[in-house]
A and B are shown apart, each in its own frame.
Chain A
Amino acid sequence: MRKLILSTVIAATAATTAATGAFAQSPSDVAKARRAFFTLVGFEMSTLGGIAQGKIDYDAELASQSAGDLLSLASLHTADYFAPGTSNEDLPGETRAKADIWDDMEGVQEKSMAFYQAVVELNDVAGTGLDALRPAVGKVGGTCKACHDDYRAADF
């Protein structure tokens, strides 16, 4: 009986914590979510980059899946991952996102649109062969770099 009560308390505490977390995202939570998002983007890009560079054998299904997942990610509403007060000045050591992002949201949006469009193009050709995939992956990678150059610090 005591055991049951205890586990109920723990469950209730956990539920409360989760609920509170969901309604009041701390800046750290935002930065964590943002990095998780880019970790997933990087995970798919790592596969696609590996295929493009010949480190992974071309496989139409694998390439299509990765490109499709990348497109799904690129289609997310990411504005909330970029809540104000979450730059590397606000959260040193937690993020490499420069304050320049919030000073130049228009530029960021322009570059993320370039990324999205490159991903759409990649998704169109990913399953059609290595020769079509390679330049499309290169183009997406270029849009990664364009944004990193301006808006991401090289190190924490």
Chain B
Amino acid sequence: MSEQLEKTYLWDPVVRVLHWALVIAFFTAFGLGKFGPDQMTLHFYAGYAVAVIVVLRVIWGFVGFTTARFANFVKGPGKVMAYARTLPSSKPSRSYGHNPVGAIFVVGVLIVLAMQVTSGLLADPEDYVNVGPLAQYVSSDVTRKALSYHEPLSFLLLLMVIGHIGAIFWYKKRKGENLVTPMVTGYAQLPPRETPAE
């Protein structure tokens, strides 16, 4: 292995803080929703935190640092398939930022989180204490629909989180790449980048 690697600035502080804030807010909301008290005030606060994080991340996806921008990491089906074929290999990916397959997860999880936040804001469980703040503005058909989506979506999000962590393990064990440290420190060991990203 004579691969030339150098310390590369990969994730800006906004991306990192939002990522770990989301980890905390999501698990707090999930845990309180499933196992928390019947008066769900804290679940609501955790949900609002998730909403703020998602909104900020989407904005940052347009105005943020290079690796944070959707335009720089969302790729077409051709590149996605090409990258997907390299996944089983033990060859390190050395991706500068989100890879084309990871990009699908990033966009997907943001969409599902937005749906989850929306369904929570609109849900009315008819207990007169845990009513979504926007439920009063829509019909009872909508509040029931929202309620019926809120729990299945939480399960889908949990599956996505498990898939995300599974991918990190795969990169570590199979490809020998540590994806966690860069999300903490901001720096990764990557090949020199003479030309800026296309």
Report which A residues bind B (CB closer than 8 A): 42, 45-46, 48-49, 52, 137-146, 148, 153-156
Are B145 and A155 closer than 8 Å at their CB atoms? yes
- Provide the residues of chain A in CB contact with B144, threshold 8 Å: 154-156
Q: Is B127 an interface residue (CB 8 A)?
A: yes
Are B127 and A142 closer than 8 Å at their CB atoms? yes
Q: Is B178 an interface residue (CB 8 A)?
A: no
Residue from A139, A140, A144, A146 having most chain B Cβ neighbours under 10 A: A144
- Provide the residues of chain B in CB contact with A137, threshold 8 Å: 128-129
A146 to B37, CA, bound (A): 9
| Cβ contacts A to B, 30 pairs, < 8 Å | A42-B126, A42-B128, A45-B128, A137-B128, A137-B129, A138-B39, A140-B128, A141-B128, A141-B129, A141-B130, A142-B37, A142-B38, A142-B127, A143-B38, A144-B125, A144-B127, A144-B128, A145-B38, A145-B40, A145-B127, A145-B130, A146-B38, A148-B125, A148-B127, A154-B144, A154-B148, A154-B150, A154-B151, A155-B144, A155-B147
How many B residues have CB within 8 A of the partner chain? 17
A148 to B130, CA, bound (A): 12
A49 to B39, CA, bound (A): 13
* Nearest A-chain residue to B40, judged by Cβ: A145
* Nearest A-chain residue to B147, judged by Cβ: A154
- Provide the residues of chain B in CB contact with A139, threshold 8 Å: 39
A139 to B151, CA, bound (A): 23
B20 → A minimal CB distance (Å): 30
- Provide the residues of chain B in CB contact with A48, threshold 8 Å: 128
Report which B residues bind A (CB closer than 8 A): 37-40, 125-131, 144-145, 147-148, 150-151
Q: A137-B129, A148-B126 are in contact. List 20 more A-B contacts (CB 8 A).
A: A45-B127, A46-B128, A49-B129, A52-B129, A137-B128, A138-B39, A141-B39, A141-B129, A141-B130, A142-B37, A142-B39, A142-B129, A144-B127, A144-B128, A145-B125, A145-B127, A145-B129, A145-B130, A154-B144, A154-B150
A49 → B minimal CB distance (Å): 3
Which 8 A/B pairs are nearest by Cβ-Cβ distance? A141-B129, A142-B38, A49-B128, A154-B148, A144-B127, A155-B148, A145-B127, A154-B147
* Nearest B-chain residue to A147, judged by Cβ: B127
A47 to B188, CA, bound (A): 57
- Provide the residues of chain B in CB contact with A49, threshold 8 Å: 128-129, 131
- Provide the residues of chain A in CB contact with B128, threshold 8 Å: 42, 45-46, 48-49, 137, 140-141, 144
- Provide the residues of chain A in CB contact with B127, threshold 8 Å: 45, 141-142, 144-145, 148
- Provide the residues of chain A in CB contact with B148, threshold 8 Å: 153-155
B40 → A minimal CB distance (Å): 8
A146 to B40, CA, bound (A): 11
A146 to B38, CA, bound (A): 6
A42 to B148, CA, bound (A): 19
A146 to B150, CA, bound (A): 16
A58 → B minimal CB distance (Å): 16
A141 to B144, CA, bound (A): 17
